[in-house]
Structure 1
Amino acid sequence: MSNSTQFRPTDVYYTVCPVASAISIAVGRGELESAFRGTGVTLHNIRHSPDRGVREAHYNQSQANLFREGGNIPPLWARSEGRNLRLIGLTWIEQYAAVLALPSSGIRTPEDLKGKRLGLVRRPNDQIDYARATALRGFLTALKTGGPDRSAVNFVDITIEEPLVANQPAPGVLSPSAFSATRLRKWDGLLVKALYEGAVDAIYVTGPAAELESVLDAHVVFDTRQAPDPCDRINNTTPLAFTVRGELLESDPDIVTAYVAQNIRTARWAKANPVEATRYIARDSGSAEELVPLKYSPDVTKALEPSLEDDLLVYLKDQKDFLLREGFIRNDIDIAAFVAHEPLRDARALVDAEQRPAAA
């Protein structure tokens, strides 16, 4: 897309989780802003809003004209609550996810979890407790692989009172994602505290907290990434969900196509430039560069382009079924009706046409 493209004057909002994402890289490289400069579209990152209600849209998707790329639990919740929200892409990015225990605990395998206290984050001041759902699914997957029945373990709350979007980011924070590295470390610290003080015997951690394994010299009781069945690797960030408010798609589909097209351009740039892309992923996920292959995989820069392949939609339905069964969402969702195929199809055609001469 060139800057000669003109759209109806529109305020467009976006938000992204602290994960490996093409849009985060596009923001960091200035490509997203450049793609829309002079087109009539004004972009706003909701994390900078002084209005907490606007920042809450990172989870409840309440902001008009909003794009979001990140964990799948909040958009599934929002869709189940009746939000006019459409799924326009998914990415399957392998991510560190493990049950950890201290070496002194004697817990070596999922079988050893019988009678033990498993820490579940509880966020009483947030609408959507995605962290609790994530940990519960991780623990249940571990138990399914040879551990005891869930009735034979004790789930213990690790309560985090601070709301997820209570404050705006501190000045100078580089990442465009919803959380700073400092805030992520603060929440990790509560897991460490619970484990070291003996309040729990095991914790479940994912990508952002991958370094806790070495910090604690912890034993990996179960590594989700090693599960041979992809369904056992499903969780909040596998797959990642790319969504847009339905009103924007209905009123201005060309804006949606242009936004998705920039996602694709940047994903392809990342695939061709893995070293530089890894630096952006490290910044945006609040980690050191050398930890990116641990938190994700050595091939993470090859996996950023969104898709709506049938297998990914099956995995998303599996996640929806889990959330419904465990009470994290109240209403069922028709995944087929949730999906809008046109923006990704049209964006791919646009980018393919742009890149064809260069490839010839």
Structure 2
Amino acid sequence: MTLKNAISEIWYTRCPVPTPVGLAVQLGLLDETFAREGIKLNSIIDSKDRAVRSSHFDHHLSYSFRHGGNVPPIRARSEGNPTRLVGITWTDEFQAIITLPETGIKTTKDLVGRRFGVARRPEGIVDFMHATALKGLVSALSLEGLSHKQVEIVDIHLTDSVLDGREGPQLYGLRNRQAYGAEIAALLRSEVDAIYVKGTPGISVANLFATHTVAEFGFHPDPKIRINSGSPRVLTVDERLAEDRPDLVTKLIGTLQQASAWAETHPDDVRRFVAREVGASEEVVAAANGPELHRHLGIGLEPELIDAIGHYKDFLHEWGFLKANFDINDWVDRRPYDALDARAVA
């Protein structure tokens, strides 16, 4: 092996959501895999260095991989950041439009002419939560043949960056700041009439404030309705890792497949591990992700998964979240799966 390819450390990151990477980390599988290669894994999102943590969103670090929400990596690719899409996971989760009972909004049709609140963060890192809420609104309205133009979209301006979410005394010793605080505050102040929420934080907030669910579509039979920033989630690697050490990317995929296979036979453990990952109770995880969570932590590049990412990429481009459009298939790197298949045959 040439000196160029003899690396000693790799950076990795994952979102605080159900992913095979999070599972493999908790099981110790990733550390074991890379330790056998003499490589140390460093967590991007847990770094004290703000510049390092920003790679969770823009994927600028060499020899790194990321698994989580798809908006930041899609945006990074549109900006020309050299990355490869090497895996996709589709884990459905609670998605809903909620309101307070006193607004009088009972159904999606009642949203016509009303104020839908969307949080807006400062310029810099792509505003993935803004994109997520808009896609949720569009999905919900489409089920009733309605358009977003029939709803008044109201920006809820935030002053902090997503990088601030792991800094400051306001965390009260917790790892992450609670999501949807600004949106709920605007709802309580009657500045907006409805908001979008998702996942474990969304279902927790809806429960805490006894909100009324206008529309719930996280498990809708039409995948295009469910598609959003977290459905599905993507695994990306930077170009240097993909080209200099494709063998390590293959080992990464193989390890995640091992974690996925373990999950299918350990539903209770999966719920417990995911609860730790997302910072919620097992009860909340079960409500937000459903009873079949353990069966939906696979990793692959099946055509329907790639099509789903392409569908959301097109939505992001249409709504102005991307610097430039690109062909989703040019982003996909199937070599790790080809190598694993060849190894299985041998």
**Normalised TM-score (structure 1):** 0.89
Which of 251, 255, 259 is equivalent to 2:252? 259
1:275 aligns to 2:253 (yes or no): no
Tell me, which stretches of 5 or more residues in structure 2 are unaligned?
none
Aligned to 1:309: 302
CA contact (8 A) 1:181 1:287 kept: no
> How many corresponding residue pairs?
339
- Find the aligned partners of 2:259 and 2:219 in 1 and give their Cα distance: 29
Distance 2:287 2:345 in 1: 36
Change beyond 3 A, Cα 1:158–1:344? farther
Deviations 1:183-241 (A, max 9, x none): 341x3222221111111100100103212222121111111125332111100011110
Change in Cα spacing, 1:281 to 1:169, as seen in structure 2 (3 Å) is farther
Task: Find 2:237's aligned residue among 222, 244, 256.
Answer: 244
Match of 2:97 among 85, 94, 99: 99
Q: Distance in 2 between matches of 1:282 and 1:275?
A: 11
Deviation at 1:308, TM superposition (A): 0.8
Letter in 1 for 2:240: E
Greater displacement, 315-324 / 188-197: 188-197
| Range 118-127 or range 233-242, more displaced | 118-127
Q: 1:225 aligns with which of 206, 218, 233?
A: 218
**Equivalents in 2 of 1:315, 1:68: separation in Å?**
19
1:40 offset after TM fit, Å?
A: 2.1
Q: Which residue of 2 aligns with 1:189?
A: 181
Show CA shifts across 1:276-305 (max 9, x none): 111110111121111112211211111111
Give the 3-state SS of the residue equivalent to 2:218 in structure 1: helix
Which residue in the other structure is 1:117 paired with? 115
- Take 1:317 and 1:236, find their aligned partners in 2: how far apart are those partners? 12
Distance in 2 between the 1:97 and 1:181 partners?
24
| Local SS of the residue matching 1:119 | strand
Partner SS for 2:180:
helix
Whether 1:292 and 2:290 are equivalent positions in the alignment is: no
**Correspondence for 1:69:** 67
Q: Which residue is equivalent to 1:211?
A: 204
Q: Percent identity?
A: 35
- Residue 193 and residue 348 in structure 1: after superposition, are their counterparts in 2 closer, same or farther (change >3 A)? farther
Q: Tell me how far apart the structure 1 counterparts of residues 294 and 268 of structure 2 sit (CA, whole Å).
A: 9
Task: Give yes or no for the alignment of 1:55 onto 2:53.
Answer: yes
Aligned position for 1:338: 331
Is 1:28 the counterpart of 2:26? The answer is yes
Q: What is the Cα deviation at residue 182 of structure 1? A: 5.4
Amino acid at match of 1:335: I
Q: Provide the C-alpha distance between the structure 2 equivalents of 1:209 and 1:137, rounded to a whole number of angstroms.
A: 15
Shift of 1:147: 5.9
* Distance in structure 2 (CA, Å) of the matches to 1:218 and 1:269: 37
- Name 1:199's counterpart in structure 2: 191
What CA deviation, in whole Å up to 9, does each residue of 1:162-199 have, x standing for no partner? 211236579xx9xxxxxx965341x3222221111111
The answer on whether the counterparts of 1:52 and 1:167 sit within 8 Å (CA) in structure 2 is: no
Distance 2:189 2:31 in 1: 47
Is the contact between residue 89 and residue 344 of structure 1 (CA under 8 Å) also seen in structure 2?
no
Question: Which of 303, 313, 318 in structure 1 is aligned with 2:311?
Answer: 318
Match of 1:41 among 39, 42, 48: 39
1:253/1:73 CA distance change after superposition, 3 Å = same
Letter in 1 for 2:17: V
Counterpart residue number, 1:145: 143
Task: Find the aligned partners of 1:347 and 1:54 in 2 and give their Cα distance.
Answer: 31
Q: Deviations over 1:63-94 (max 9, x none)?
A: 11111000111111011100111101111111
CA distance, structure 2, for counterparts of residue 168 and residue 191 of structure 1? 19
Counterpart of 2:85 in structure 1 is 87
The alignment's C-alpha RMSD in Å is 2.2
Aligned to 1:165: 163
Structure-1 separation of matches of 2:340 and 2:318: 35
Q: Is contact 1:114–1:147 with CA below 8 Å preserved after alignment?
A: no
- The verdict on how the C-alpha distance between 1:63 and 1:116 changes in structure 2, with shifts beyond 3 A counting, is same
8 Å Cα contact 2:107-2:214 kept in structure 1: yes
